[in-house]
Chain A
Amino acid sequence: GAVVSQHPSRVICKSGTSVKIECRSLDFQATTMFWYRQFPKQSLMLMATSNEGSKATYEQGVEKDKFLINHASLTLSTLTVTSAHPEDSSFYICSARDIAGGTSAGELFFGEGSRLTVL
């Protein structure tokens, strides 16, 4: 199956700093990528939809100035947590769908996640 890679897998930062998480589709192109947040022992909550070449679409309640999303190419989307605070500590997961479709049509491929800890 298609591979989505996230980097870094773990990051620890000080309160007030910004952290960038990368999401790459390694063997396919994705015009759209999705960013999820997962709290401990809970399900995934969609934060935003990242659109290649245009602005991201944010879910209700998600601060767009707090979580900056850039989708500069068909294989890369980045999530920047600005002025991070301890409550931003979470597991962030990205996903993407192969624009070529085929047997993978409709299937989302997930990255391995990025664990953010804000001290």
Chain B
Amino acid sequence: AQSVTQPDIHITVSEGASLELRCNYSYGATPYLFWYVQSPGQGLQLLLKYFSGDTLVQGIKGFEAEFKRSQSSFNLRKPSVHWSDAAEYFCAVGPTGGGNKLTFGTGTQLKVEL
């Protein structure tokens, strides 16, 4: 069975500082990996996704993530955080062939200090 672990429940960073959110997955085959962001009371917005090819994926809002098969990780990074980045971030894994049945991690709540 597929699973996703986001070990950090809460992270606080200062505005302008760099950010890395961790995500580890368990999946029997080559996974499709996603990062979503959720603002309070809102749905999810896709930040980026990895299907194949270049293991460093660029997303929206200046985010990037790197797929490391050897570590079963797909960590999300941003070089300089903005106050508007404060939100809940979810890592998700889906089966090869499409994101139909996604399994989500428990999320990481990001707080940005001004």
Which residues on the B side are within 8 Å of A97 (C-beta)?
Answer: 98-100
**A106 close to B106 (CB less than 8 A):** no
Which residues on the A side are within 8 Å of B99 (C-beta)?
Answer: 97, 106-108
A73–B49 CA distance with the chains assembled, in angstroms: 28
Flag whether A115 is at the interface (Cβ < 8 A).
Answer: yes
Flag whether A88 is at the interface (Cβ < 8 A).
Answer: no
Choose one: B51, B97, B102, B106; the contact of A108 (CB below 8 Å). B102
**A44 close to B98 (CB less than 8 A):** no
In the complex, 26 of the A-B residue pairs with CB atoms within 8 angstroms, ordered by the A residue number, are: A1-B46, A4-B43, A32-B100, A42-B107, A43-B107, A44-B44, A44-B90, A44-B104, A46-B101, A49-B100, A49-B101, A95-B44, A97-B98, A105-B98, A106-B49, A106-B51, A106-B97, A106-B98, A107-B49, A108-B100, A108-B102, A110-B36, A110-B43, A112-B42, A112-B43, A113-B41
